[in-house]
Structure 1
Amino acid sequence: MGTARDSGQRALEARSHNLLGMAYGQTGRMDESLAEFRHASELWEVLDDRHQLARASNNLGILARLRGDLLEAVRCHERAIRLFHEAGDDNGRARALTNLGVVHQRLGHHAEAISAHERAVEIFRAQDDQYRLGQTMGDLAKAARLAGRYGESIECYEESLRVVRLTGSRLNEAEQLWGLPTRCTTSANGTPPARAGAPLWTSCATAVNSRTTKRKGCWPIPFRNHRQPYAGTSERCAGSPR
């Protein structure tokens, strides 16, 4: 009885550290956020809870990316992917793969970014997770564009738009429209596609600007489920919505 009670208390403490870490991150207090996520991770390690440890690793990876420590972010997300796999959580593994792909994009590792996003897309498609599929197709489109694979990028953006429109998410629709140029033609020497005027937009673009605020040094605003840490929802997150 005593052991079970102690375990329950530690689990509650770990969740509290995770929530506090998210709160600190959302207000730009990154050092405190890091400390809280590390406390949570240590407690889940003691409890040998692979699923919660995977979430904690994913959150630490997101925080490392925000702090500019991209190599540490790669290590954390790769660990999260392995732990989610061990815990049998394919959706969590896909979210961590998406986060890993974003970090590889920042590092200029285009092949690795595309591979991570493609693996995530495969899982979300198999699970019929339309919301995250639409987001991740947009990430894949961006990765392909940065790699100079413009035709593939357009195809991915178009599929992303089709999917996000089915989910009714106007914010996600605006985000994909922002990435999709009005005209894509690659010249003979392989230069980037031309943009005939501004990127496509709809009235929802105004909503993105009015309903979200980019705060430098703060945790991403919860408008993309898979870019934030878990409070218990996706980012594509591990703690909360990715």
Structure 2
Amino acid sequence: MNPDTSALLDRAASFERSGAWGEAAVALHTAYAASVQRQDLSGILEAVVRLGHCMRLAGDPDLSSDALELACTLGELNRRDDIAGRALNGLGMLAFERGASSEATRLYAAANELGRRAGDQVLVAETEQNLGILANIRGDLDEARTRYETALRHLDVAGPARGRISALNNLGMLHLYRGELADALGYFDRALAVSLETGDVVRTAMVHVNRAELFLARGELARAREACDDGFEIFSRLNDEFHQAQALKLYGVIYRESGKLHLATIHLQRAIEIARPRDSLVEAQAQREMSRVLRLQGSNRQALEALNRSHTLFTSLQARPDLADLDKRVADLEEEFLGVVRVWGESIEAKDRYTLGHCARVADYACRIAERAGMTDRELTWFRMGAFLHDVGKTEVPEEILNKPGRLTDEERATMERHTVIGDEMLAPVEFPWDIRPMVRSHHERWDGRGYPDQLVAEAIPRSARILRLADVFDALTTARSYRAPLTPERALGIMRDDQGSFDPELFQIFLDLYDEFAPTAAEAASSVSA
């Protein structure tokens, strides 16, 4: 290879280490043009394959694919297995990034074979790492660990420091994911030492942020903050907003765990603002952390809004190839939804001393009716939340009306009945993944049209609200109110039979079928309230 070409390629490598992909691409173009002019085949091959990888990192997959396809063809024509293998490895990365995991696996495996045939330890190591990442995504952590360790052995023999940093970092993240924190720290410390020794600024910053996540998992908040500071300073200097957002998200968690909720809010909000147009995963994670801060501040509705945004983003990421545990993340989010909803429901009961446990019992009764009526498990999750929130509008009703021992005046009754509309309005900004608002607004509508607030008739009433009303009426009758003692389950059933024209006939029959299961719970609730 011509010395001038080598100098240009070295210059490109320096730009690559600092994350200056545009400048690196210019240097590689220049090296390619110079090599063509001198008919320097080695320089042409090296510049083209490096340019393909550089354009991928610069965010131009089309130019990257063109350069890598050319490099692969030239490598095959000139029997350069190392060049063809490096090009296939890059094409595998492009396939992975667009979600084509099977194609990525095929390309990585082919590149690995070419690397072994050429005796290219670095190429073998890189493809082993990429195959390890795919194994990690599949949830095969043992295979992932084996491949990462294999990659590290090859890199220790002949690999550049840059590759060793990635291998050590991957092993650190794998052990962190498995909860093996001491092992994770050992790998991160080794990765940091190599990155500092070689002056690889970008990887140094990444390792700092990963170490911050580790210290956070260990509850070492001061060390987590220090590591985050180190990484954030570098990313700020490089104007790398993508990685700044990841660091800001960690700052938010650190401050939340430190009890500094105002600072947590500021940093998470900034992370969300940066990530929103760039990375849905980081925004989804930051929104989830924001919801936890808002819960601690008692802002239940805002917490639900943040959770909803996180849920929407995680659900939209189903095509992402790097999210193996997406279903678990979404399920965990739904548990958090329910947790916030429970707390909010309890805040309603705290205001109305006669409704202790009402929301939980209504949710249980209603879900059993809904399940018997054919509602799916996923629908039941959100239906339960609607049941917990059905009386959320009562938080805006004066306590003297909620707890009045006698009959309400017409004006007071109108205020009380407004709770359905108020609750609907309160939940409007949340935009739940499943439509909860009709349950809140319409659970006092009657099949015969004499309910409120909209006097809906029969099937014009949302089915979820019809189910909910059965549970709500039964629990209201069998527990104490400010104006009367609780009724026995049998007496409550009699009253509901007398008024069965107010209920959906099909659903009322399901309620009757389940009555024997509900009665013991109702009797226990009545006796506990009386005591």
TM-score normalised by length of structure 1: 0.77
Structure 1 counterpart of 2:142 = 71
Q: CA deviation at 1:135?
A: 1.4
Is 1:181 the counterpart of 2:248? The answer is no
CA contact (8 A) 1:177 1:201 kept: yes
CA contact (8 A) 1:183 1:196 kept: no
Is 1:156 the counterpart of 2:227? The answer is yes
Q: Deviations over 1:193-239 (max 9, x none)?
A: 43514451475642322122443353459xxxxxxxxxxxxxxxxxx
Distance 1:105 1:183 in 2: 17
User: Residues 106-117 of structure 1 correspond to what in structure 2 (within 5 A)?
Assistant: 106-117=177-188
Distance 1:183 1:43 in 2: 46
User: Residues 1-242 of structure 1 correspond to what in structure 2 (within 5 A)?
Assistant: 8-181=79-252, 184=255, 193-197=258-262, 198-199=264-265, 200-201=267-268, 203=270, 205-214=272-281, 215-219=317-321
Q: CA deviation at 1:106?
A: 1.2
Q: CA deviation at 1:35?
A: 2.1
Question: Could you say if the C-alpha distance between residues 183 and 60 of structure 1 is closer, same or farther in structure 2, counting changes exceeding 3 Å?
Answer: closer
CA contact (8 A) 2:168 2:191 kept: yes
Question: Could you say if the C-alpha distance between residues 67 and 7 of structure 1 is closer, same or farther in structure 2, counting changes exceeding 3 Å?
Answer: farther
CA contact (8 A) 2:85 2:123 kept: no
Question: Could you say if the C-alpha distance between residues 203 and 150 of structure 1 is closer, same or farther in structure 2, counting changes exceeding 3 Å?
Answer: closer
Question: Could you say if the C-alpha distance between residues 183 and 92 of structure 1 is closer, same or farther in structure 2, counting changes exceeding 3 Å?
Answer: closer
CA contact (8 A) 1:66 1:217 kept: no
TM-score normalised by length of structure 2: 0.37
Distance 1:24 1:129 in 2: 27
Q: CA RMSD in A?
A: 2.7
Distance 2:278 2:98 in 1: 17
Question: Could you say if the C-alpha distance between residues 88 and 29 of structure 1 is closer, same or farther in structure 2, counting changes exceeding 3 Å?
Answer: closer
Q: CA deviation at 1:141?
A: 0.6
Structure with larger RCO (C-alpha < 8 A, sep 6+): 1
Distance 2:208 2:241 in 1: 16
Could you tell me which runs of 5 or more consecutive residues in structure 1 were left unpaired when the two chains were aligned.
Answer: 186-191, 222-242
Q: Highest CA radius of gyration, 1 or 2?
A: 2
Distance 1:20 1:5 in 2: 15
Question: Could you say if the C-alpha distance between residues 204 and 148 of structure 1 is closer, same or farther in structure 2, counting changes exceeding 3 Å?
Answer: closer
Question: Could you say if the C-alpha distance between residues 167 and 184 of structure 1 is closer, same or farther in structure 2, counting changes exceeding 3 Å?
Answer: same
Distance 2:271 2:258 in 1: 25
Give the match's secondary structure for 1:216: helix
Question: Could you say if the C-alpha distance between residues 24 and 182 of structure 1 is closer, same or farther in structure 2, counting changes exceeding 3 Å?
Answer: closer
Count of residue pairs the alignment pairs up = 212
Distance 2:319 2:134 in 1: 10
Question: Could you say if the C-alpha distance between residues 67 and 96 of structure 1 is closer, same or farther in structure 2, counting changes exceeding 3 Å?
Answer: same
CA contact (8 A) 1:170 1:204 kept: no
